[in-house]
Amino acid sequence: MKLTRRTVLAQSGALLLPFAASRSFAQSAEFTMKFGSNLPAAHPINIRATEMAANLKSESQGRIDLQIYPNNQLGNDTDMLSQMRIGALDYMTLSPLILGTLVPAAQINGVGFAFKDYTQVWGAMDGGLGTHIRKQIAATGTIFAFDKIWDNGYRHVTNSIRPIVKPEDLKNLKLRTPPGPMWVSMFKAFEASPTPMNFAEVYSALQTKVVDGQENPLAIVSTAKLNEVQKYCSLTGHMWDGYWFMGNKKLFERLPADLQSMMTRHVAASALLQRADVRKLNDGLQTELKAKGMQFNEAPADAFRDKLRSAGFYSDWHKKFGDEAWALLEKYTGKLS
């Protein structure tokens, strides 16, 4: 007898299959969606995204199943961004500065020492500057950002060689930066030796001393355990960085209007909770990391800002972003250059 798919199925009793299949379809959600993140499960991004997924499931009465994939399980940021653009991934959180490879205007929040405090950060990002950036993201036609950016924090330099107190201490330091043009430009201006790489590779690059240092907020240093492979933490606070909660436009628009607005509402509500978590962590972690052996030092901003200014960092980026966007930034931060 010739073995075809049909005969194999018939002989194996697979005629029962439709019943089994329809039962499992009835149990599964109408909209199963994936969310990917580059951070460990313990970071507030993933804790709040997981909680949000549970809330969405119950409020939609099981119609939405948002599956959370932390820790680069779906690939690194560059991979996830490509997947999301082609519709192989529904949602991800991404730094605006990494998105800068695709949407240059998105990087503007990373201008060195621009935001003096969180009042300025949220004023700008929840206000006109954020609206301007999200418009540019939507102009890609394939992806979009929800309207309340999630927090990463003020970034500080860590390394295994020496405390960074003044800009000269960065000279020739092999420093990992995320893959975004503004980081490379900034650390070149400081005369360091910036090496862009995805976060997925950072722990092992530090451990094997491929690079000497990196820069991130304390919540990431702690949840990704970078303190195990870094001795010094210098409180440079050289930029504020966030995470746009982004989605593939077509996949999102496949949801009926009521579920779209449910998602939008939940992403915004979770953003506010996540911001409070990150703030609390970043404010409190110094003591904990010190107890684990990290050595902290202050790094007064003025000298670093002057170094950026004399290297032409502000005037270069002003030119790249254009007068209109720059004025929008300065509306919240005050005059920068």
Contacts with ligand X2X by CB under 6 A lie at 38, 95, 98, 152, 178, 199, 216, 220, 241
Nearer to ligand X2X, 203 or 296 (CB): 203
Nearer to ligand X2X, 60 or 227 (CB): 227
Q: CA torsion 290→97→175→307, rounded to 10°?
A: -90
In the complex, least distance from residue 295 CB atom to ligand X2X, rounded to whole angstroms:
21
Distance between CA 203 and CA 209 in Å, rounded? 10
Q: In the 8-state DSSP scheme, what is residue 60?
A: T
218 is written with which tokens?
A: 């304390």
102 is written with which tokens?
A: 């695709």
In the complex, least distance from residue 19 CB atom to ligand X2X, rounded to whole angstroms:
46
Nearer to ligand X2X, 220 or 278 (CB): 220
Q: CA torsion 113→114→120→121, rounded to 10°?
A: -80
Nearer to ligand X2X, 179 or 262 (CB): 179
In the complex, least distance from residue 33 CB atom to ligand X2X, rounded to whole angstroms:
21
Q: Which long-range contacts (CB under 8 A, 24 or more apart) does 46-55 make?
A: 46/70, 47/277, 48/150, 48/270, 48/273, 48/274, 48/277, 49/93, 49/270, 51/270, 51/273, 52/266, 52/267, 52/269, 52/270, 55/266
In the complex, least distance from residue 261 CB atom to ligand X2X, rounded to whole angstroms:
28
Nearest Cα to Cα of residue 180 among 317, 332, 337: 317
In the complex, least distance from residue 39 CB atom to ligand X2X, rounded to whole angstroms:
6
C-beta atoms surrounding 256 within 10 Å:
12
* 76 touches 196 (CB < 8 A): no
Nearer to ligand X2X, 71 or 120 (CB): 71
* 171 touches 192 (CB < 8 A): yes
In the complex, least distance from residue 223 CB atom to ligand X2X, rounded to whole angstroms:
10
Nearer to ligand X2X, 56 or 242 (CB): 242
